[in-house]
Amino acid sequence: MSPRRLIVVVSALAALLSAPDAGAATNPQVAGLQVALRAHGLYAGEIDGIAGPATAAAIRAFQMRASLQVDGIAGIKTRSALGRLGTPLLGRRILRQGAVGWDVSVLQFLLRRAGVHRGAVDGRFGPTTRKALVRFQRRAGLSPDGILGPATLEVLDVSGLSIQRGRPRTVSGSMAYWSRHYGVDTRLVRALAWQESGHQNHVVSAAGAQGVMQVTPATWDFVETVVLGKRIPHTADGNVRVGTAFLANLLKRFGGDERLALAAYYRGPAAVRKYGLGPETTRYVANVLALRQRM
Protein backbone atom coordinates (compact mmCIF):
# COMPACT_ATOMS: atom_id res chain seq x y z
CA MET A 1 0.00 0.00 0.00
CA SER A 2 1.38 3.38 -1.00
CA PRO A 3 2.17 5.89 1.79
CA ARG A 4 0.33 8.53 -0.21
CA ARG A 5 -2.87 6.56 0.29
CA LEU A 6 -2.99 7.06 4.04
CA ILE A 7 -5.23 10.12 3.75
CA VAL A 8 -6.91 9.94 0.36
CA VAL A 9 -8.33 6.45 0.75
CA VAL A 10 -11.11 7.52 3.09
CA SER A 11 -12.49 9.86 0.44
CA ALA A 12 -14.51 6.87 -0.78
CA LEU A 13 -16.93 7.59 2.05
CA ALA A 14 -18.20 10.71 0.31
CA ALA A 15 -19.65 8.80 -2.62
CA LEU A 16 -21.26 6.21 -0.39
CA LEU A 17 -22.87 8.78 1.87
CA SER A 18 -23.96 11.34 -0.68
CA ALA A 19 -25.20 9.19 -3.54
CA PRO A 20 -26.78 5.94 -2.33
CA ASP A 21 -28.72 3.84 -4.79
CA ALA A 22 -32.37 3.07 -4.43
CA GLY A 23 -31.60 -0.27 -2.78
CA ALA A 24 -29.10 1.10 -0.29
CA ALA A 25 -28.13 -1.55 2.24
CA THR A 26 -28.54 -1.17 5.98
CA ASN A 27 -25.26 -0.65 7.84
CA PRO A 28 -25.63 -0.88 11.64
CA GLN A 29 -22.69 1.51 12.14
CA VAL A 30 -24.57 4.22 10.21
CA ALA A 31 -27.25 4.08 12.91
CA GLY A 32 -24.58 5.21 15.37
CA LEU A 33 -23.68 8.10 13.08
CA GLN A 34 -27.32 9.14 12.73
CA VAL A 35 -27.83 9.18 16.50
CA ALA A 36 -24.73 11.35 16.99
CA LEU A 37 -25.85 13.78 14.28
CA ARG A 38 -29.34 13.92 15.75
CA ALA A 39 -27.90 14.85 19.13
CA HIS A 40 -26.35 17.90 17.45
CA GLY A 41 -29.72 18.85 15.96
CA LEU A 42 -28.64 18.11 12.40
CA TYR A 43 -30.46 14.87 11.57
CA ALA A 44 -34.22 14.53 11.97
CA GLY A 45 -34.80 11.37 9.98
CA GLU A 46 -35.37 7.81 11.07
CA ILE A 47 -32.52 5.88 12.69
CA ASP A 48 -32.53 3.31 9.91
CA GLY A 49 -28.84 2.56 9.34
CA ILE A 50 -29.01 3.73 5.72
CA ALA A 51 -26.50 6.32 4.53
CA GLY A 52 -28.96 8.37 2.52
CA PRO A 53 -28.96 12.03 1.40
CA ALA A 54 -30.24 13.34 4.74
CA THR A 55 -27.38 11.64 6.58
CA ALA A 56 -24.84 13.00 4.09
CA ALA A 57 -26.22 16.53 4.38
CA ALA A 58 -26.09 16.33 8.17
CA ILE A 59 -22.43 15.24 8.10
CA ARG A 60 -21.51 18.20 5.92
CA ALA A 61 -23.46 20.61 8.11
CA PHE A 62 -21.69 19.30 11.19
CA GLN A 63 -18.27 19.55 9.58
CA MET A 64 -18.95 23.16 8.60
CA ARG A 65 -20.09 23.97 12.14
CA ALA A 66 -17.02 22.23 13.64
CA SER A 67 -14.57 23.93 11.24
CA LEU A 68 -13.57 20.57 9.77
CA GLN A 69 -12.91 19.78 6.13
CA VAL A 70 -16.37 19.65 4.56
CA ASP A 71 -16.15 16.43 2.57
CA GLY A 72 -19.12 14.39 3.77
CA ILE A 73 -16.77 11.76 5.17
CA ALA A 74 -17.58 10.31 8.58
CA GLY A 75 -13.92 9.63 9.27
CA ILE A 76 -12.03 9.47 12.54
CA LYS A 77 -11.71 13.26 12.98
CA THR A 78 -15.39 13.87 12.32
CA ARG A 79 -16.50 11.08 14.64
CA SER A 80 -14.20 12.31 17.40
CA ALA A 81 -15.58 15.84 17.03
CA LEU A 82 -19.10 14.47 17.46
CA GLY A 83 -18.27 13.91 21.12
CA ARG A 84 -19.33 11.05 23.38
CA LEU A 85 -21.79 9.68 20.81
CA GLY A 86 -19.17 9.69 18.04
CA THR A 87 -17.04 6.82 19.35
CA PRO A 88 -16.19 3.97 19.66
CA LEU A 89 -17.31 1.44 17.04
CA LEU A 90 -19.23 -1.54 18.36
CA GLY A 91 -16.96 -4.33 19.52
CA ARG A 92 -14.16 -2.14 20.84
CA ARG A 93 -15.24 -2.47 24.49
CA ILE A 94 -17.54 -4.39 26.80
CA LEU A 95 -20.85 -2.60 27.26
CA ARG A 96 -22.89 -2.43 30.42
CA GLN A 97 -25.51 -0.14 31.93
CA GLY A 98 -24.27 3.43 32.23
CA ALA A 99 -22.24 3.41 29.02
CA VAL A 100 -22.71 6.18 26.46
CA GLY A 101 -21.43 6.10 22.91
CA TRP A 102 -21.71 5.22 19.24
CA ASP A 103 -21.47 1.52 20.09
CA VAL A 104 -24.46 1.77 22.42
CA SER A 105 -26.51 3.31 19.60
CA VAL A 106 -25.56 0.45 17.30
CA LEU A 107 -26.41 -2.13 19.97
CA GLN A 108 -29.83 -0.54 20.51
CA PHE A 109 -30.43 -0.51 16.77
CA LEU A 110 -29.57 -4.21 16.48
CA LEU A 111 -31.71 -5.13 19.48
CA ARG A 112 -34.61 -3.18 18.02
CA ARG A 113 -34.16 -4.94 14.69
CA ALA A 114 -34.16 -8.26 16.57
CA GLY A 115 -37.53 -7.29 18.08
CA VAL A 116 -36.44 -7.09 21.72
CA HIS A 117 -35.82 -3.36 22.21
CA ARG A 118 -38.81 -1.03 22.44
CA GLY A 119 -37.02 2.01 23.81
CA ALA A 120 -35.16 4.85 22.15
CA VAL A 121 -32.04 4.46 20.05
CA ASP A 122 -30.11 7.26 21.72
CA GLY A 123 -26.64 5.95 22.58
CA ARG A 124 -27.35 5.74 26.32
CA PHE A 125 -27.27 2.31 27.96
CA GLY A 126 -30.04 2.63 30.53
CA PRO A 127 -32.38 0.13 32.23
CA THR A 128 -34.55 -0.28 29.12
CA THR A 129 -31.55 -1.24 26.99
CA ARG A 130 -30.34 -3.62 29.67
CA LYS A 131 -33.74 -5.36 29.80
CA ALA A 132 -33.73 -5.66 26.01
CA LEU A 133 -30.25 -7.18 26.06
CA VAL A 134 -31.33 -9.64 28.76
CA ARG A 135 -34.30 -10.67 26.61
CA PHE A 136 -31.96 -11.21 23.67
CA GLN A 137 -29.52 -13.24 25.77
CA ARG A 138 -32.28 -15.49 27.11
CA ARG A 139 -33.58 -16.06 23.61
CA ALA A 140 -30.05 -17.00 22.50
CA GLY A 141 -29.46 -19.34 25.43
CA LEU A 142 -26.79 -17.12 26.97
CA SER A 143 -26.27 -16.03 30.55
CA PRO A 144 -28.74 -13.13 30.94
CA ASP A 145 -26.36 -10.70 32.64
CA GLY A 146 -27.32 -7.62 30.62
CA ILE A 147 -23.70 -7.06 29.59
CA LEU A 148 -22.49 -7.06 26.00
CA GLY A 149 -19.30 -9.11 26.03
CA PRO A 150 -17.66 -11.34 23.41
CA ALA A 151 -20.14 -14.22 23.79
CA THR A 152 -23.19 -12.04 23.20
CA LEU A 153 -21.49 -10.07 20.44
CA GLU A 154 -20.77 -13.33 18.63
CA VAL A 155 -24.43 -14.30 18.66
CA LEU A 156 -25.27 -10.93 17.14
CA ASP A 157 -23.64 -12.24 13.97
CA VAL A 158 -27.17 -12.39 12.49
CA SER A 159 -27.02 -8.60 12.42
CA GLY A 160 -23.64 -8.42 10.72
CA LEU A 161 -21.24 -8.50 13.65
CA SER A 162 -18.82 -11.38 13.83
CA ILE A 163 -15.94 -12.76 15.80
CA GLN A 164 -13.75 -15.32 14.10
CA ARG A 165 -14.44 -18.86 15.26
CA GLY A 166 -12.47 -22.07 15.15
CA ARG A 167 -8.91 -22.63 14.04
CA PRO A 168 -7.25 -19.71 12.24
CA ARG A 169 -7.01 -20.10 8.49
CA THR A 170 -3.62 -20.13 6.84
CA VAL A 171 -2.81 -17.02 4.82
CA SER A 172 -3.34 -19.01 1.63
CA GLY A 173 -6.63 -20.35 2.94
CA SER A 174 -7.76 -16.87 3.92
CA MET A 175 -7.07 -15.51 0.45
CA ALA A 176 -8.99 -18.36 -1.16
CA TYR A 177 -11.91 -18.04 1.25
CA TRP A 178 -12.37 -14.26 1.21
CA SER A 179 -11.81 -13.89 -2.53
CA ARG A 180 -14.65 -16.35 -3.12
CA HIS A 181 -16.76 -14.65 -0.46
CA TYR A 182 -16.43 -11.21 -2.07
CA GLY A 183 -16.43 -12.41 -5.68
CA VAL A 184 -12.86 -11.42 -6.53
CA ASP A 185 -10.45 -13.48 -8.66
CA THR A 186 -8.38 -15.47 -6.16
CA ARG A 187 -5.27 -15.19 -8.33
CA LEU A 188 -5.64 -11.41 -8.35
CA VAL A 189 -5.83 -11.31 -4.55
CA ARG A 190 -2.80 -13.59 -4.24
CA ALA A 191 -0.84 -11.44 -6.71
CA LEU A 192 -1.77 -8.21 -4.95
CA ALA A 193 -0.80 -9.65 -1.57
CA TRP A 194 2.53 -10.86 -2.95
CA GLN A 195 3.26 -7.44 -4.43
CA GLU A 196 2.37 -5.76 -1.14
CA SER A 197 4.02 -8.02 1.44
CA GLY A 198 5.22 -11.29 -0.08
CA HIS A 199 2.31 -12.92 1.82
CA GLN A 200 3.91 -11.97 5.16
CA ASN A 201 1.68 -10.70 7.94
CA HIS A 202 4.46 -9.16 10.05
CA VAL A 203 5.32 -6.50 7.45
CA VAL A 204 4.68 -2.87 8.50
CA SER A 205 5.38 0.05 6.14
CA ALA A 206 6.70 3.49 7.06
CA ALA A 207 3.15 4.83 6.59
CA GLY A 208 1.72 2.32 9.06
CA ALA A 209 0.28 -0.09 6.47
CA GLN A 210 0.21 -3.54 8.02
CA GLY A 211 -0.01 -7.20 7.24
CA VAL A 212 -0.50 -9.42 4.24
CA MET A 213 -2.56 -6.85 2.33
CA GLN A 214 -0.70 -3.80 3.74
CA VAL A 215 -3.81 -2.12 5.11
CA THR A 216 -3.50 1.35 6.63
CA PRO A 217 -5.50 2.28 9.75
CA ALA A 218 -7.59 4.63 7.59
CA THR A 219 -8.48 1.85 5.17
CA TRP A 220 -9.30 -0.56 8.00
CA ASP A 221 -11.58 2.06 9.53
CA PHE A 222 -13.27 2.69 6.17
CA VAL A 223 -13.88 -1.01 5.51
CA GLU A 224 -15.23 -1.63 9.03
CA THR A 225 -17.43 1.44 9.08
CA VAL A 226 -18.70 1.71 5.52
CA VAL A 227 -17.99 -1.37 3.41
CA LEU A 228 -18.80 -4.11 5.94
CA GLY A 229 -20.41 -2.32 8.86
CA LYS A 230 -18.78 -4.61 11.38
CA ARG A 231 -15.68 -5.00 13.51
CA ILE A 232 -12.97 -7.18 11.95
CA PRO A 233 -10.40 -8.88 14.23
CA HIS A 234 -6.83 -7.66 13.76
CA THR A 235 -5.53 -11.07 12.76
CA ALA A 236 -3.87 -12.31 9.58
CA ASP A 237 -7.26 -13.61 8.44
CA GLY A 238 -8.84 -10.26 9.28
CA ASN A 239 -6.15 -8.42 7.35
CA VAL A 240 -6.78 -10.52 4.26
CA ARG A 241 -10.51 -10.01 4.66
CA VAL A 242 -10.24 -6.23 4.92
CA GLY A 243 -7.86 -5.96 1.97
CA THR A 244 -10.01 -8.23 -0.20
CA ALA A 245 -13.24 -6.45 0.73
CA PHE A 246 -11.58 -3.12 -0.10
CA LEU A 247 -10.42 -4.45 -3.47
CA ALA A 248 -13.94 -5.73 -4.21
CA ASN A 249 -15.30 -2.29 -3.31
CA LEU A 250 -12.83 -0.61 -5.67
CA LEU A 251 -13.68 -3.00 -8.49
CA LYS A 252 -17.34 -2.12 -8.09
CA ARG A 253 -16.66 1.62 -7.99
CA PHE A 254 -14.45 1.49 -11.08
CA GLY A 255 -16.91 -0.59 -13.09
CA GLY A 256 -14.92 -3.82 -12.88
CA ASP A 257 -11.78 -2.26 -14.40
CA GLU A 258 -8.98 -4.21 -12.73
CA ARG A 259 -6.26 -1.74 -13.74
CA LEU A 260 -8.07 1.21 -12.16
CA ALA A 261 -9.04 -0.77 -9.07
CA LEU A 262 -5.45 -1.88 -8.49
CA ALA A 263 -4.22 1.65 -9.08
CA ALA A 264 -6.73 2.92 -6.52
CA TYR A 265 -5.58 0.26 -4.05
CA TYR A 266 -2.04 1.59 -4.42
CA ARG A 267 -2.60 5.29 -4.89
CA GLY A 268 -6.07 5.95 -3.53
CA PRO A 269 -9.34 6.27 -5.49
CA ALA A 270 -9.50 10.06 -5.33
CA ALA A 271 -5.97 10.44 -6.68
CA VAL A 272 -6.64 8.00 -9.53
CA ARG A 273 -9.78 9.85 -10.56
CA LYS A 274 -8.05 13.22 -10.38
CA TYR A 275 -4.57 12.48 -11.70
CA GLY A 276 -4.76 9.10 -13.42
CA LEU A 277 -2.19 6.38 -12.89
CA GLY A 278 1.18 7.99 -13.52
CA PRO A 279 4.40 6.06 -14.24
CA GLU A 280 4.92 4.62 -10.76
CA THR A 281 1.35 3.38 -10.39
CA THR A 282 1.38 2.02 -13.95
CA ARG A 283 4.42 -0.11 -13.08
CA TYR A 284 2.74 -1.30 -9.88
CA VAL A 285 -0.41 -2.38 -11.74
CA ALA A 286 1.62 -4.12 -14.44
CA ASN A 287 3.59 -6.04 -11.80
CA VAL A 288 0.43 -7.27 -10.06
CA LEU A 289 -1.19 -8.36 -13.32
CA ALA A 290 2.00 -10.16 -14.37
CA LEU A 291 2.18 -11.91 -11.00
CA ARG A 292 -1.40 -13.13 -11.39
CA GLN A 293 -0.35 -15.27 -14.32
CA ARG A 294 1.98 -17.21 -12.00
CA MET A 295 -0.42 -17.61 -9.06
Q: What is the pLDDT of residue 169?
A: 63
Report CA-CA distances (Å) from 30 to 72, 103, 118, 194. Answer: 13, 11, 19, 34
Choice among 46, 196, 224, 258 that is catalytic = 196
pTM of the model: 0.53
Identify whether 196 is a catalytic site residue.
yes
State mean pLDDT over 262-268.
93
Instruction: Give the Cβ contact number of residue 71 at 10 Å.
Output: 18
The pLDDT tens digits for 24-67 are 456 788 899 999 999 999 999 999 888 889 998 999 999 999 99
Q: Identify the structural domains of the chain with CATH numbers, from first to last.
A: 102-159 (1.10.101.10), 165-292 (1.10.530.10)
Q: What is the pLDDT of residue 24?
A: 47
Q: What is the pLDDT of residues 1-19, one digit of tens each?
A: 443 333 233 333 333 333 3
pLDDT above 90: percentage of residues in the chain: 49
What's at 59, amino acid-wise? I
